[in-house]
Structure 1
Amino acid sequence: MPELPEVEVSRMGVSEHLTGKTITDIVVRTPKLRWDIPQQQLQSLIGQTILRISRRAKYLVIETAIGHIIIHLGMSGSLRVIAASTALKKHDHVDVCIGDKVLRLNDPRRFGAVLFSEPDTEHSVFAKLGPEPLTDAFNSEHLMVMCNKRKAAIKQVIMDNPVVVGVGNIYANESLFLTGIHPQTPANQVPVEKLMALVVVIKQVLAAAIKQGGTTLKDFSQTDGKPGYFAQSLYVYGRGGEKCLRCETVLEEVKLGQRASVFCPVCQPKQ
């Protein structure tokens, strides 16, 4: 699944090609992905200039003066800016056309979304989202309040969108390793100094992933077709049963909330 860095890389990639351009058509080949696609509302944007491409959590927002297109890549979605004459591939569901080029959404699992929102109106998908991790709103005070009365595992808490958006499985694994926190530690038992360090590390890990172009996943590539490179720097994610890169202890793996959690029992001891 594309995580926040991969979505941010997609945003940067498409912004270069779309910002300031006029929408000449919107082609919907599949009426429903995760939700019904609001085709009539999207058609109202034809002729509008794209003012900017923004991001909220893992949603991309194509902004115009009279409405916004909201795109979520789901489990397997990807975006390409290509010539309008490019032959269709299987699972090419939606095109946002800008003259002789199109922004094309491909989504094999159809768990993504294409939605519409009015200007200055918060769409319901954004209603319960927490702060962006790379902003000042996500800070140690906020995380301490969120963890204070929660007995759930700290890994599940930092992956909870109302707490902070965009800390997916890859980056939760990595951040907890780098701060020496066992993923199963109840959130309300993580020492304050560890929570403070965790906030800093989450920001550093996500920023590094964005800088390096997103993590290479089988379902993700950048808009120019090149994969990300952050996977070369992973300490624990996907490495269960291998040796810790720090102490050479064999990494262990458990399931938390249906997700694999890999950790080093020495570097991340249970409290």
Structure 2
Amino acid sequence: MQDAHLERLELRRPDLRFPFPPGLADSVAGQKISALSRRAKYLLIHLENGQVLICHLGMSGSFRVQYADDDHVPGDFHMVRSRDEKHDHVIFHLRSFDGAPLRVVYNDPRRFGFILTADEAELSEHPLLVHLGLEPTGNALSAQALATMFAQRTTTLKAALMNQRLIAGLGNIYVCEALWRAGLSPRRKAETLVTKAGKPTPRAERLAAAIGEVIAEAIASGGSTLRDHAQTDGSLGYFQHNFRVYDRENVACPREACDGTVKRVVQNGRSTFYCPSCQR
């Protein structure tokens, strides 16, 4: 999409989770896409006129790229992602940098996603973005950073890691997987990873390393395809084939020398999968 020209934006309904901004289609028609970026779980489409489209996929949304002669979705998965055209709610009609026409289709059966707009100069102060915490990618999420966040926090580790004001964009799947790799119970209090002097404990060191590993592997694998999620080019993410605990309730724990069984509990309305035997 980057460097492509957005010839026309086709809105097939007046809203998704929220109504589309007034005049959205007219305001973006003919604009060049200058950059694509991300903040937490928000996809940001930067236009040459200084406008930014803030996109969120919600629970079931996906983008797929369609060239004139190719609409093939490679791969095979036990729960097929939605390609039902009745759920194609937004279509970006583009012309790529080499002049080839293409379409980027936003499909969302549940319509929990949305597309909003912001001015580039005011993007960091947008209400959806201004309070977001540290990104889980790169070296910023260190053991010391976790210690600073978790000091005197009596909430559970699971709740602290899912708090978007602390860590932005770390989702339920990756939290479960990182806690398993670090051998930490999701029910443990966050403050137990911090010494009285405010320094990280060895548990914090393990957790920071585990988060980095999980995120890196997920990116290399193309993400996690569950139910009807897929990558922008239509191919499927395969990190789900590396799940140790997520969605594996009553399955034997895969950790060597552990004879435990993966359990599912509900924390703050979300399913948590973990092994009570080796996660302490």
Note whether the superposition's TM-score is higher than 0.5. yes
| CA displacement, residues 223-255 of structure 1 (integer Å, 9 cap, x when unaligned) | 232221111111111111111112131222211
Q: Which residue of 1 aligns with 2:204?
A: 195
Matched, 1:95 2:91: yes
8 A contact 2:177–2:245 mirrored in 1: yes
Partner of 1:131 in structure 2? 134
Give how far 1:88 is off. Answer: 7.5
Q: TM-score, normalised by structure 1?
A: 0.87
Partner of 1:108: 109
Matches within 5 A, 1:102-251: 102-122=103-123, 123-190=126-193, 192-246=201-255, 247-251=258-262
Are the counterparts in 2 of residues 95 and 105 from structure 1 also a CA contact under 8 Å? yes
Aligned residues: 252
Structure 2 counterpart of 1:77: 61
State the identity as a percent.
37
**Secondary structure, in 3 states, of the residue corresponding to 2:120?**
coil
1:248–1:226 CA distance, 2 compared to 1 (3 A): farther
Of 103-112 and 222-231, deviating more is 222-231
Q: Deviation at 1:150?
A: 1.3
1:259 has 2:262 as partner? no
Q: Is the 8 A contact 1:70 1:114 kept in 2?
A: yes
Cα distance in 2, alignment partners of residues 236 and 140 from structure 1: 23
After superposition, the CA RMSD in angstroms is 1.8
Gaps of 5+ in 1: 1-17
Task: Give the aligned residue type for 1:256.
Answer: Q
Larger radius of gyration: 2
Structure 1 stretches of 4+ with a deviation exceeding 2 A read: 83-88, 135-142, 223-226
In the alignment, structure 2 segments of 5+ residues that lack a partner are 72-82, 96-100, 195-200
Q: Deviations over 1:163-218 (max 9, x none)?
A: 11121111111100111110001111235221122112111101101101111201
1:47 aligns with 2:63: no
| CA drift at 1:142 | 2.2
Measured after TM superposition, the shift of residue 84 of structure 1 is: 6.8
Contact 1:215/1:229, CA 8 A, preserved across alignment: yes
Amino acid at match of 2:88: D
How far is 1:42 from its partner? Answer: 4.5
**Structure 1 pair 178/110, CA: closer, same or farther in 2 (3 Å)?**
same
SS at structure 2 position matched to 1:260: strand
Q: Does 1:62 align with 2:73?
A: no
Q: TM-score normalized by structure 2?
A: 0.85
Instruction: Name the structure 1 match of 2:74.
Output: none
- 8 Å CA contact 1:181–1:268 kept in 2: the answer is yes
